[in-house]
Structure 1
Amino acid sequence: MVPTPNSDTHIAADHTAISRLLSKVLRHEPEMIGIQLDSQGWVSVDGLIRAIERTVRTAGASKRLRTLPTVTRDVILAVIATSDKKRFSLSPDGKRIRAAQGHSVEVDLGYAEMGPPAILYHGTAWSNWANISKEGLTPRTRHAVHLSTDVDTATRVGARHGPPLILIVAAAQMYADGYTFSRSDNGVWLTRVVPVAYPSKWTDERGPSS
């Protein structure tokens, strides 16, 4: 059967709902569905599916869970394949899944330290600039500061909270000064903190940010 535009839209909406749930339980609240991540954030795909099914059937399950589309291995693989930011990683044997980065629960993702590009970008809300200009970039509830290799990605991230503020981070200089970097499976650069000396406002052909 050839999908119609309406069925395509429905499938996309289903994938979005499942992706949001996976992000929540694999990054922040595994206990929400009664799973436990290992030390590197992995969980069995089959175990994850069983936990979701069990939670959905539990009395008092939220409407968000009760209306969730059926989660199968094929659906999870489709969500992974179509994720615009490649949020999730599969183990080489295909048996385990984890979030690529963005955790607030304690995990060690095991990414190797490596030297970053000369500059990286960070997108945030303009309302954060006052604090950033005094304290630099900190991970807040997450394990690391997330940095992008391109302005467009940083802009999309920053735009989640209104007009975006794009910062240039002197990453190579940070690395030379002894700060460590790693890169996640989906290409996001990670560092523990960006001290105030290293980020600056990005300017483009339209002139300086104000």
Structure 2
Amino acid sequence: MIEFRKSSQRGSADFGWLQSRHSFSFGRYYDPAQMGFSALRVINDDRVSPGAGFDTHGHRDMEIISLVLDGVIAHRDSTGQVAELPAGEYQLMSAGRGIMHSEFNARTNQDLHFLQIWIEPDSLGGEPGYQQKPFAQTPGLTLVASKDGAEGSLRLKQNAKLFQLRLDAQSALNFQTQAGRKLYLHLVSGSLSGQSGEQHISLQPGDGVKIADLTDWQFSSGAEPVFALLFDLP
């Protein structure tokens, strides 16, 4: 099964200080056919004006990953965590039984561009937590988050894996997952194609694709380097 989610099909929100594109139903944007995929619930592509941001608000029972593409996030939460998240670093906030937090554009002269990702945990309640880490920008697959924290990845409360996929221009990479697993691919930049047997995909920035029952892939870049997020899901 392959189901495309083109960038132009995403939901949108415009609050003046915030411009957001939603790959799945979120906030005022509701589409019963786009309520997530497996444990993946949200991918929001957010752009925040200088100095603006999200006032203190609460979450529970959700694994929330942020990746800054440009700018810096100023983070504060009810566990006492105060941090800045610069471009290229990943943040994983486990809401557990409940957490309050705020996120602001830490710069007054630069827009903030980041991805916010929600993954449903495999158990409810528990202690909230916070993790933050940079990962190598080298070409290939880099494991960013996993259940057991393998390869120095962030520890995720779900039997899922998040990979960072980077390819140089005109290059290829093979990927294999276990039978019965699902994949979701979100392209951040570049032009990406993929092949599994006789099945083909082609993505442009902002596009996503749901994949099931196809375990072996070869991903290829075009004339520009590729940056994508690959989710291996239960």
State if a TM-score over 0.5 links the two structures: no
Output the TM-score relative to the length of structure 2: 0.27
Greater helix fraction, Structure 1 or Structure 2: 1
Structure with the larger strand share: 2
TM-score normalised by length of structure 1: 0.29
Larger radius of gyration: 1
